Every structure is written in C-alpha cells, then in structure tokens.
C-alpha cells in the first residue's frame, strides 16, 4: 500500500536507497547532492540498513571505491554533482568498460566556470558518451521511482552497464513535494537480490578486471558495451511495466504530453517540463494544438521512437539546458535533429539554449516559444536554428 509523504528529491532518493539496502555506498559531499549521503548515513547509524558506508577523500575515490565493490560482486553506488562528476571522469569510463551495473545518483548542477551552484545539465551532458545509461526526472516522485527501477535495468543480464539517475539541482533536490512511497517490502521484492555473473571474490572463476587491452581486443570490448546498450530500451520498458503493476505509475522512454494532435511541440529534459505543461494547458484552452515530449531515457537515445512521436508536428523546439559549443546548439538538439533527419521528417526544428546556471523559466517564456513555432510554420522557414532563451544580449 502506498504511503503519502512530503519529501525533497534528495530525501526521496535516500529513502529509495534505504529500501534497496545496497551493499556499499562510498561518498564525498558536494552541493547540491550532499544531502543524499547525509540522509543515508543516518540510516546506517540507526541500523536501518546494513550497507558498508565509506566516507572517502574525493569524488574520484568515491567512484573508484564503487567500482571496486561492484567488481567484487557487491551492489554499489555513489552520489555527486557538477565538478564532482568531472572529477570522476576517468572512473566513469572504467565502470562502463568493465560492464559494472553500479548506480550514480546525480543531482544536476552547472559546471564551473564561472562558479555556480545552481541547475543546468552541463555535468551529465558532458558524460553522455561515457557508456552509462542516463535517466532523468521532472519531479521528486519521478526521481524516487527512477531510483527504485535503476538496479533492475542496470543489472539485467542483457545489459550489465552502470546507470545514472539524474534530477535537477535545488529545483527538485531541495524543494519539498507531496509524493507516494512504496512499502519497504514491495521495493525489496521488486529490486531483488543482486546475482553477479562474474566477480573477483568468486573462487570458482578467477578473473581480471580492467586489464591492459591491446589492439587485438580493445574494439571488441567497446562493441560489447554497445551491445549492452542495444538492449536497454526494451529492458527499461519491461521494468517500467512491472513497476506500474506495484505503483500505478506508468513510465516509458519519454512522456508525450498532449501530443495526440499537436502541430507544435517542445522537446526537453527535466523540471522545466512542469512549467511547459502549464503553458500547454493554457494554450490548449485557447484552441492551440501544442504538446511536449519530455525525455526520460537519454542514453541510449531512443531516436526512432522520438521521431515517430514527432511525425505529425509542423514545428518543434528542442530545449537544451547545456551548451554544446558547436555553433549549432546543444547535445539534445543535435540528437533530436539527427533523429528527425533519419526519419525524413518535414518538421521545421529550432534549438534553444535555456536555464543555464539556474536561470528561471516561466510559463510566459514557454508560451513565447510556442508562438515562435506557430510563426515558423506559417513562414515555412525555421530561420536561425540556434537560439538562446531569456538572454541579455
């Protein structure tokens, strides 16, 4: 039976982890993810979990320890944000190349510089090609639900890859919302016990983890990673279907909000989707055919499904909360436009950079985006496809 509560996103993640009861949690604090290990440390101290909680001296060490624990056969994770993720850079690739299904609770925050502690997606977008599964949340409920599903996805026998569960710094991590929690026993049964296939502490199967790979083997190792990624979409959908059976909450690769007859659409990731939904509801009352595609699974990128969901639109705005410095837009824009191109879509597309360093996004801003899309469709020309929203020029 669901339990209603009022929680911040960080506290919701920590409670999900308490219910999962992982084997090893190395941690080093960094704003705005510090509360996750802080809350979890209290669960350890109170005897509510039997997790080995390891305070370490840096984020590099926290991911290194999580990798070592996972390689030894333990269910492990850590949490970080921003420059902490950047400090783990080397280890992110090692975790993925070793096919270790550990988890990372990432609270998205701008990367320096200039120094900023507020939300954007520059940290996780920088790591998008490291070989990790990436799942994003709009709100606290989704952050909790995604964490509960994380290990079922990462540990699946056809996947065996690390997973990054992302939420927006301060906007969801520190804001308190009403939400529903599953019973502890429900989560325990749903997640199950970890059954590693190969691990260092198995005396029946001697093995090496992370050995030097000469030219004859390196490409095959990378192809193995890619093969694991090929199965992620199907596993995500299957796990979501089973999760809906115990929670009543449905998830997919993305959420299509009022897209059934939409002529103008926005594609985005994260908390600003809530603001966009408010703008859509307001415009729908005025007879405008507008909709939203909110990406949940970003890596691997579900290109074909996204192109299919956008097949009926006349114009689309792809919203990036990270700059790509390509002179053409951000990473989500590049992925969506490539998907539309491969599908031979006739939709006119523009890419907006928005919300960097925590800059606010208002309902009025998104109404303006939809008005621009309507004008683009009327003109039959997207014009400048690389734009900024809410910038002082």
Other CB atoms within 10 Å distance of the CB of residue 72 = 16
User: 88 in helix, strand or coil?
Assistant: coil
Q: How far is CA 123 from the centre of its chain?
A: 11
**pLDDT band with cut points at 50, 70 and 90 for residue 207:** confident
Q: What is the mean pLDDT of residues 40-46?
A: 98
User: pLDDT for 159-199, tens place per residue?
Assistant: 999 999 999 999 999 999 999 999 999 999 999 999 998 89
Q: What is the mean pLDDT of residues 124-139?
A: 98
- CA distances from residue 89 to 106, 111, 363 in whole angstroms, order as listed: 13, 13, 36
Q: What is the mean pLDDT of residues 50-71?
A: 98
Q: How far apart are the first and last CA of the chain?
A: 53
Please spell the DSSP secondary structure of 98-146, one letter per residue: TT---EEEEEE-PPSSS---S--SHHHHHTTTSS-EEEE-SSHHHHHHH
Structure tokens belonging to residue 351: 């890419």
* pLDDT of the residue at 224: 94
Sheet order of strands, 386-388 included: 254-257, 290-295, 264-268, 315-320, 348-353, 386-388
* pLDDT of the residue at 105: 98
Q: Is the pLDDT of residue 296 over 90?
A: yes
360, with CB counted inside 10 A (0-12, 13-18, 19+), is exposed
Alpha helices, H only, the chain: 9-20, 35-45, 59-71, 82-87, 89-97, 122-126, 140-154, 184-191, 215-230, 232-247, 272-285, 303-309, 331-342, 363-379
Q: What is the mean pLDDT of residues 59-83?
A: 98
Mean pLDDT computed over every residue of the chain: 97
For 254, the enclosing helix (H) or strand (E) is strand 254-257
Q: Is the pLDDT of residue 205 over 90?
A: no
- Give Dmax over CA atoms of the chain in angstroms: 69
- Delineate the domains of the chain, giving CATH numbers in brackets: 3-246 (3.40.50.970), 254-388 (3.40.50.920)
Other CB atoms within 10 Å distance of the CB of residue 357 = 16
User: pLDDT for 310-327, tens place per residue?
Assistant: 999 999 999 999 999 999
Please spell the DSSP secondary structure of 291-353, one letter per residue: EEEEESEEES--HHHHHHHTTT-SEEEEEESS---SSS--HHHHHHHHHHHHTT---EEEEEE
CA pair distance 290, 370, nearest whole angstrom: 7
Contact 156, 231 (CB under 8 A): yes
Residue with tokens 């090929």: 230
């Amino acid at each position: 039976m669901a339990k209603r509560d009022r929680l911040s996103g960080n506290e919701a993640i920590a409670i999900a982890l308490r219910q999962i009861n992982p084997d090893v949690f190395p941690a080093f604090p960094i704003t705005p993810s510090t509360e996750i290990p802080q809350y979890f440390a209290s669960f350890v101290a109170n005897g509510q979990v039997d997790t080995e909680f390891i305070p370490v001296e840096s984020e590099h060490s926290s991911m290194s320890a999580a990798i070592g624990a996972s390689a030894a056969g333990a269910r492990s994770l850590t949490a970080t944000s921003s420059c902490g993720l950047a400090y783990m850079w080397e280890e992110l690739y090692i975790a993925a190349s070793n096919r270790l299904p550990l988890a990372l609770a990432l609270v998205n925050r701008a990367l320096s510089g200039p120094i900023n502690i507020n939300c954007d997606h520059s940290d996780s977008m920088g790591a998008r090609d490291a070989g990790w599964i990436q799942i994003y949340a709009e709100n606290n409920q989704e952050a909790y639900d995604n964490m509960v599903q994380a290990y079922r996805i990462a540990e699946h026998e056809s996947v065996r890859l690390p997973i990054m569960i992302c939420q927006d710094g301060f906007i969801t991590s520190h804001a308190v919302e009403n939400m529903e929690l599953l019973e502890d026993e429900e989560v325990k049964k749903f997640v199950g016990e970890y059954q590693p296939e190969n691990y260092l502490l198995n005396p029946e199967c001697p093995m090496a983890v992370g050995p030097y790979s000469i030219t004859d083997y390196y490409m095959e190792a990378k192809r193995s990673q890619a093969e694991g990624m090929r199965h992620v979409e199907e596993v995500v959908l299957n796990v979501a279907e089973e999760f809906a059976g115990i929670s009543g909450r449905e998830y997919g690769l993305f959420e299509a909000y009022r897209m059934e007859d939409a002529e103008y659409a926005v594609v985005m990731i994260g908390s600003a989707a809530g603001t966009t939904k408010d703008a859509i509801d307001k415009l729908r009352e005025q007879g405008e055919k507008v909709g939203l595609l909110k990406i949940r699974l970003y890596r691997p990128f579900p290109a074909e499904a996204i192109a299919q969901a956008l097949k009926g639109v006349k114009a689309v705005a792809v919203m990036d909360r990270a700059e790509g410095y390509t002179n053409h837009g951000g990473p989500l824009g590049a992925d969506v436009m490539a998907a539309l191109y491969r599908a031979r879509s006739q939709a006119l597309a523009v890419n907006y950079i928005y919300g960097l360093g925590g800059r606010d996004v208002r309902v009025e801003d998104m109404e303006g985006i939809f008005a621009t899309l309507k004008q683009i469709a009327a003109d039959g020309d997207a014009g400048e496809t690389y734009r900024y929203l809410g910038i002082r020029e």
